[in-house]
Amino acid sequence: MALAVHLVMLAVAVLAISLVSAFVVEADDAVALRSLPRRFVRFFAACLLLLAFAYFGPL
Amino acid sequence: MERDRTASPPLGPTLLTWFLPGSGHALLGSWRTAAIGFVVVEGLYLLGFLLSGGLAFEFLDFELRGRFALVLTPEAGNVGAVLAHLMLHPLGGPGSPPPPPGALVHVGGMLTAASGVLNIVLMAHAHLLARLGGGGVRAADRTARDLALGWFVPGLGHLAQGRKLRSAISFGVVVGLFALGTALAGGTNLTRDGGFYYWSGQFLAGLPAAVAELAAGHPVITGFTEYHDAGVFFACLAGLLNALLLIDVYAWDESRALGRDPVADRSALARARRDRKSSKKGAKDRPEPSAASKHLVAPVVPTSKEDV
pLDDT tens column, B44-55: 999 999 999 888
Do A24 and B244 lie within an 8 Å CB cutoff?
A: yes
The reply to whether residue A27 touches residue B173, judged by beta carbons under 8 angstroms, is no
Q: Distance, in angstroms, between B101 CA and closest chain A CA? A: 33
Q: Per-residue pLDDT for B197 more than 50?
A: yes
- The pLDDT mean for chain A works out to 92
Out of A5, A16, A27, the one facing B177 most closely (by C-beta) is A16
Residue B291 has a pLDDT of: 43
Nearest to B21 by CA among B111, B113, B121: B121
Mean pLDDT, chain B, as a whole number?
86
Calpha distance B79→B146 (Å, rounded): 23
Output the pLDDT for position B8: 58
The tens digit of pLDDT for each residue in B148-180 reads 999 999 999 999 999 999 999 999 999 999 999
Q: How far is CA B273 from CA A25, B284, B299, in A?
A: 10, 16, 11
Q: Is residue B137 pLDDT above 50, yes or no?
A: yes
- Contacting A with CB below 8 Å, chain B residues are 163, 165-166, 169-170, 173, 177, 180, 227, 230, 233-234, 237, 241, 244-245, 247-248, 251-252, 255, 262-263, 265-267, 270
* Residues in B touching A9 (Cβ below 8 Å): 227, 230, 234
| pLDDT given at position B1 | 43
Task: Judge whether residue A1 has pLDDT over 90.
Answer: no
pLDDT of B293 reads: 41
Distances (CA, A) of B89 to A19, B19, B56, B57, B103: 42, 18, 10, 10, 20
What does each C-alpha distance from B144 to B9, B14, B113, B178 come to in angstroms?
Answer: 17, 13, 18, 24
Q: How far apart are CA B31 and CA B137, in angstroms?
A: 13
Chain B residues with CB inside 8 Å of A28's CB?
Answer: 263, 266-267
Q: Do B247 and A24 touch (CB under 8 A)?
A: yes
CA gap B101, B92 in Å, rounded: 17
User: pLDDT tens for residues B273-294?
Assistant: 888 888 876 655 555 554 444 4
Work out the minimum CA distance from A1 to partner chain B, whole angstroms. Answer: 14
